[in-house]
Amino acid sequence: MKELFILAVVTVFTLLTYYLVEPFAHSQMHKHVESEGFAYKDLPALTKKGDAARGKDLVMGAGACAGCHGIEVEGMPAPMDPVTAAQSYGVNPPDLSNAGAVFDPKFLAALIKNPAHALMVEHKFDANKGQMHPMTSFYGAGGDLDQEVADMVAYLQSIAPKAEELTPKMAFETACGRCHAIHYPYVKDGEAHPAWTQIGEKPTFKKKQDALAFETKVLDYQDALTKYMGTLPPDLSMYIRSRGEHYIKTFVENPQNYLKGTAMPRVGVSAESAEKIIEHLEDVGDSKRHMREEIGKNVMIYIIIFAIFAILWKKEVWKELH
Amino acid sequence: MAHFTKATSLHDWLNQRLGIDTVRRVMATEYWIPKNINFLWAMGMVLAITFGLLLISGIFLLMYYQPNVATAFDSVNYTIMQEVGYGWLWRHIHGVAASVVFLIIYIHMFTGIYYGSYKKGREMIWLSGMLLFVAFSAEAFSGYMLPWGQMSYWAGMVITNLFAGGSLHADGLVEWIRGDYVPAQAFLNRFFMLHVLLIPLAILGLIGLHFGALRIPHVNNQDGEEIDFEAEAAKYKAGDKANSKVIAFVNDFMSKDMMVVGIYLIFFFYLVFYHYDFAMDPVNFDPANGLKTPAHIYPEWYFLWSYEILRPFSTDVGLIAFAFAQVIFFALPFLDKSPNAVPASRRGLFKFWFWAMLIDMIILTAMGKVPPEGLFSTIGLYAALTFIGLWIALPFITKFEKKV
């Protein structure tokens, strides 16, 4: 009985100290932000039902999207290589093949109408001061603006892969990969994936000249990006450990929550895509998590059996000591 | 030369050359421990096991770690954590054990303080234990530098800056310690050497001294009773184990130790697999960047109390208070003037001193982590003053303690 009392005292003081230096101290150091579940409540809901065929005409025609964006699934490559594009616009405009699957439809509509507003970078791009966002607003092709935008969104959704076809890697590349590198290669489902740079996967080269030429392109791209963003966006290899899931999600949902005035835009991913991006960050930064859970179970069983034998041994030895 | 006969067995062969029977008797079967003890007496074995886990996991990590500022971070977070088979497991064991070992050290220390196990011939046990505490602290700090993350770098910056001595401006000494103006390659290399060679050697030596220091005064017991070990051992050897006040180190004491170790390991491996974050600060998963100071720089939890004794004061006063906190525990056996080597509960004012010290150190620990602003600064200041005040009061309250 006395020993249990002593154990209780030790446990209480240990847990008290733990509570104070971990949950309590961190609540004092970091602002807690609740997720809105990627609802983007500040953006207006889509009221019109879009027509993909009309949307296609707008995207290819009056919308002039293809002037800057490639649409690989439609056989349309990007008009410029990534480095030239970044030197022209600051960042390489995304290929639109997956946009309808990765981004929230409400966000896409708002983006087409007013990019700086949807991206939450109006503090950086103020049209009244002549600071134009590199993506121009779509003011309509003569008809009902809301209907036209809904049509364009419907078109993007019609060419995009289905939710189950969109891999975590695709979600990451479309939403994050033109600004953020991940320099850790990783293996998933037996398939090896090379490191990711802002201009794509890092290929293996036979000749050093080719490797250096690629490296130069990456550095040129990063220079343009740094000029555009103010600083080079960080490599995300270990972000799942350094920031954790909750921070990443709430930050991506609204970067201004944590860093008022940051140049990082709200990227407008859907809730499902956010999950996939997290999964991708886990694949590269915490690739052994499944093994850890598996082995953890077995080790716990083994140790509990060990403890039972240890207790039995003690009882046996101490029988004649009492 | 000794006389050797033809050995009758391997045991006999070894016994003639190494005296293994004698060693076994002296070190194990006739090494007497009081029977009146509780599970807190097993903390020594728990520490030995945890140190073993640190040593073994450390050896595996050492095979892949690269002490180079350009590759250290990735060698830990990519090579060890993702490429090497079970590298993640060794790292999590190493990281969690490094934190948990201090929890056990503190429990072990406060057990010693509570039961008065630093007095009446047990001073060397206390002093060698305190040297171990210092060596473990240096080992923990040097190890924390190795992943070369943001917290490694900035903790290295802050702690080495302390050696400038405030107004003394001994910047030359700081540069000499770092081998550079800022933590860089020379710094990483020397802390690597300290972590994997010099300090572990010192720890092994000190563990030997700590065990040796126990031999003559013997282990204390739950009631501070003075035991005639020879008479009680004779009773035990005569077969009256039930009435003897002593037990043999092996198997009697060892079986109880292993029971505690077994339960402890459940807790330990639960942390390793399911709750490792507390021991591996997220900030340190950002690579070191000398141009980007983190918003909050704080040491690991086990250094927070002494860090908070440094923080609330002006630079020079803070450094003096910090130096005081680092050495004052060494003086415990000499500042405690009471002849009573009994549990604190039977020692009048010392009972309150003990709990006040424990709670004050927990408050200091908490305040050492939160940002030093407003109310937290005030609490931290008073807790630091209380810490110093308690040590000044100790000789007085123990001098007038009634003999029990």
Residue B289: left if φ>0, alpha if ψ -120 to 50, beta else—which one?
Answer: beta
Type of residue found at A68? C
For B159-219, what is the HEC assignment?
HHHHHHCHHHCCHHHHHHHHCCCCCCHHHHHHHHHHHHHHHHHHHHHHHHHHHHHHHCCCC
**What sign for the dihedral angle of Cα A79, A83, A89, A95?**
positive
Whether residue A300 and residue B270 make contact (CB cut-off 8 A), yes or no, is yes
**Domains annotated on chain B, with CATH:** 28-297 (1.20.810.10), 300-404 (no CATH)
Question: Is A320–B241 a contact, with Cβ atoms under 8 angstroms apart?
Answer: yes
The whole-number pLDDT of residue A63 equals 83
Mean of pLDDT values over B327-345: 96
Which pLDDT belongs to residue A283? 97
Residue A196 three-state SS: strand
Q: What is the largest CA-CA distance in chain B?
A: 80
**CB-CB neighbors (< 8 A) of B38 in chain A:** 2-3, 6
Q: Provide mean pLDDT across the span B303-310.
A: 96
Token reading at A280 = 């991708």
Q: Does A301 touch chain B if contact means CB atoms closer than 8 Å?
A: no
A residues 148..187 contacting B (CB < 8 A): 184, 186
Question: B326: buried, middle or exposed (CB in 10 Å: 19+, 13-18, 0-12)?
Answer: middle
Q: Name the maximum alpha-carbon separation found in chain A.
A: 98
Nearest 5°: the CA angle A140, A146, A149 is 65
Instruction: Provide the pLDDT confidence category of residue B69 given band limits of 50, 70 and 90.
Output: very high
Region B102-121 average pLDDT:
97
Give the pLDDT mean for B219-236: 95
pLDDT at B16 over 80: yes
Sequence ranges of the domains in chain A: 1-30, 31-287, 296-322
Residues B70-77: contacts with CB under 8 Å, at least 24 apart: B72/B146, B72/B147, B72/B148, B72/B188, B73/B147, B73/B148, B73/B149, B73/B287, B73/B288, B74/A184, B76/B146, B76/B147, B76/B148, B77/A237, B77/A238, B77/A241, B77/A285, B77/B147, B77/B285
Q: Which one of B46, B285, B307 would you mutate to disrupt binding with A, by most A Cβ within 10 Å of its Cβ?
A: B285
Q: Mean pLDDT, to the nearest integer, of B246-262?
A: 97
| Separation between Cα atoms, residue B145 and residue B143, nearest integer Å | 5
Task: Look at the domain A31-287 and name its fold.
Answer: Cytochrome Bc1 Complex; Chain D, domain 2 (1.10.760)
Instruction: Please name the member of B39, B273, B295 whose beta carbon is closest to the beta carbon of A296.
Output: B273
E strands within A41-193?
A: 186-188, 191-193
Band the pLDDT of B313: cuts 50, 70, 90.
very high
Query: Confidence class of residue B248 from pLDDT cuts 50, 70 and 90?
Result: very high
- Using the Cβ of A203 and the Cβ atoms of chain B, whether some distance falls under 8 Å is answered with no
* Amino acid letter, residue A174: T
- Can you tell me the ipTM of this complex? 0.95
pLDDT digits (tens, 9 = 90+) for B349-375: 999 999 999 999 999 999 999 999 999
Residue A206 has what pLDDT?
A: 97
User: What is the mean predicted confidence (pLDDT) over B250-272?
Assistant: 97
Lowest mean pLDDT among A58-67, B73-82, B157-166, B318-327: A58-67
A261: closest CA among A120, A69, A81, A67?
Answer: A120
A164-171 average pLDDT score: 96
Mean pLDDT computed over B228-251? 95
Pick from B247, B287, B371: CB nearest A321 = B247
CB neighbour class for B4 (10 Å; exposed up to 12, middle 13-18, buried from 19): exposed
pLDDT in tens, A175-231: 999 999 999 999 999 999 999 999 999 999 999 999 999 999 999 999 999 999 999
**Which of A318, A319, A320, A322 is the mutation pick for testing B, counting most B CBs within 10 A?**
A318
> Which of the residues B237, B253, B256, B304 would you substitute to probe the A interface, choosing the one with the greatest number of A C-beta atoms within 10 Å?
B256
Candidates A238, A246, A282, partner chain B, best to mutate (most B CBs within 10 A)? A238
Helix residue spans in B77-193 (DSSP H): 87-114, 123-145, 150-161, 171-178, 185-193
Chain B residues in contact with A231 by the CB 8 A cut-off are: none
Rounded CA-CA distance A120/A261 in Å is 9
Q: Which amino acid is at A294?
A: E
With pLDDT > 70 as the criterion, what percentage of chain B qualifies? Answer: 100
- Using CA atoms in the order B37, B43, B45, B48, what is the torsion angle rounded to 10 degrees? -160
Cβ pair B369:A25 closer than 8 A: yes
Mean pLDDT of B3-7: 93
C-alpha distances out from residue B141 to B75, B135, B152, B191, B303, Å? 19, 10, 9, 9, 9
Q: Using CB atoms, pick whichever of B77, B89, B366 lies closest to residue A295.
A: B89
Whether the CB of A205 is below 8 Å from some CB of chain B: the reply is no
Strand partners, B32: B248
CA gap B143, B158 in Å, rounded: 16
Q: Share the mean pLDDT of chain B.
A: 96
Verify whether the Cβ–Cβ distance B262 to A303 is below 8 Å. yes
- Is the pLDDT at A31 greater than 90? The verdict is no
Q: What is the pLDDT of residue A64?
A: 85
In this model, does residue A141 exceed pLDDT 90?
Answer: no
Contact across the interface for B358 and A2, Cβ inside 8 Å:
no
CB of A230 less than 8 A from some CB of B: no
Instruction: Say which residue, B215 or A1, is predicted with more confidence.
Output: B215
- Mean pLDDT, all residues of chain A: 95
Residue B404: pLDDT band by 50, 70, 90 thresholds?
confident
A82 vs chain B: nearest CA distance in angstroms? 27
Give B130 to chain A, closest Cα distance, Å.
21
In whole angstroms, give the CA distance from residue A118 to residue B90.
46
Residue A62: per-residue pLDDT: 85
Q: Any chain B CB within 8 A of the CB of A317?
A: yes
Q: In which band, very low, low, confident or very high, does the pLDDT at A322 lie, cut at 50, 70 and 90? A: confident
Residue A165 has pLDDT above 90, yes or no: yes
Peptide bond into B77 cis (omega under 30): no
Burial classification of residue B240, based on how many CB atoms lie within 10 Å of its CB (0-12 exposed, 13-18 middle, 19 or more buried): exposed
If pLDDT is split at 50, 70 and 90, which confidence band does A142 have?
A: confident
Phi then psi for A197, rounded to 5 degrees?
-115, 170
Q: Which residues of A touch B89 (CB under 8 A)?
A: 292, 295
Q: What is the pLDDT of residues A68-117, one digit of tens each?
A: 999 999 999 999 999 999 999 999 999 999 999 999 999 999 999 999 99
Measured between CB atoms, which of B92, B266, B270 is closest to A307?
A: B266
CA atoms within 13 A on the CB side of B45: 19
What pLDDT shows up at residue B1?
Answer: 66
Beta bridge partners of B247: B33
Q: What is the DSSP letter of A256?
A: G
**DSSP-derived 3-state class of residue B33:** strand
Place of tokens 């000044």: B392
- For A236, name the nearest residue in chain B, comparing CA atoms only: B286
**Whether the Cβ atoms of residue A28 and residue A131 lie closer than 8 Å to each other:** no
A64 vs A299 pLDDT, higher one: A299
pLDDT tens-place string over residues A235-286: 999 999 999 999 999 999 999 999 999 999 999 999 999 999 999 999 999 9
d(CA A145, CA A138): 9
Interface test with A, best of B258, B276, B283, B304 (most A CBs within 10 A): B258
Let me know if B259 is exposed, middle or buried by CB neighbors in 10 A (0-12, 13-18, 19+): buried
Cα separations in angstroms, B198 against B135, B194, B195: 10, 5, 7
